[in-house]
Copies of this chain bind each other. A is one copy, B any other.
Amino acid sequence: MVRVNNNFSKIRESYLFSEIAHKTAEYRSSHVDAKIISLGIGDVTRPLCNEVIKSLHTAVDEMGVQETFRGYGPEQGYKFLIEKIIKHDYNSRGITLDADEVFISDGAKSDLGNIGDLFDTDNLVVVTDPVYPVYVDTNIMAGRADNIMYMSCSAENNFIPTLPEKTPDIIYLCYPNNPTGTTLTKSELKKFVDFAKEKGSLILYDSAYEAFITEEDVPHSIYEIPGAKDVAIEFRSFSKTAGFTGVRCGYTVVPKTVKASAPDGSLIALNKLWNRRQCTKFNGTSYIVQRAAEAVYSPQGQKETKENIAYYLNNANFIREGLASIGMQVYGGVNAPYIWVKTPQGMGSWDFFDFLLEKCNVVVTPGVGFGPSGEGYVRMTSFGTKENCEEAIDRIKKILI
**Contact surface of A with B, Cβ cutoff 8 Å:** 1-6, 8-9, 11, 43-48, 50, 52-53, 56-57, 60-61, 63-66, 69-73, 106-107, 109-110, 113-114, 117-123, 134, 137-138, 141, 169-170, 199-202, 243, 245-248, 260-263, 268, 270, 273, 276-277, 280-289
Contacts and interface: CB of A to CB of B under 8 A. Distances in A.
A118 B282 contact: no
Contact of A56 (B60, B120, B169): B60
A119 B134 CA distance: 20
Instruction: Give the most central of A44, A71, A287: most B CB within 10 Å.
Output: A71
Contact of A57 (B46, B50, B57): B57
Contact of A281 (B46, B64, B69, B113): B113
A110 B43 contact: no
Contact of A4 (B2, B63, B118): B118
Q: How many subunits of this chain does the assembly comprise?
A: 2
Nearest to A245: B71
Contact of A2 (B44, B169, B285): B169
A267 to B, nearest CB: 9
A288 B60 CA distance: 10
Contacts of A121: 5
Contacts of A73: 246
A41 to B, nearest CB: 9
A98 to B, nearest CB: 20
Contacts of A107: 283
B48 A64 contact: yes
A335 to B, nearest CB: 22
A247 B292 CA distance: 13
A49 to B, nearest CB: 8
20 contacts: A1-B169, A3-B261, A4-B118, A4-B260, A5-B273, A8-B273, A46-B66, A47-B63, A47-B69, A53-B63, A57-B60, A106-B282, A117-B141, A141-B277, A245-B283, A246-B284, A247-B287, A286-B286, A288-B288, A288-B289
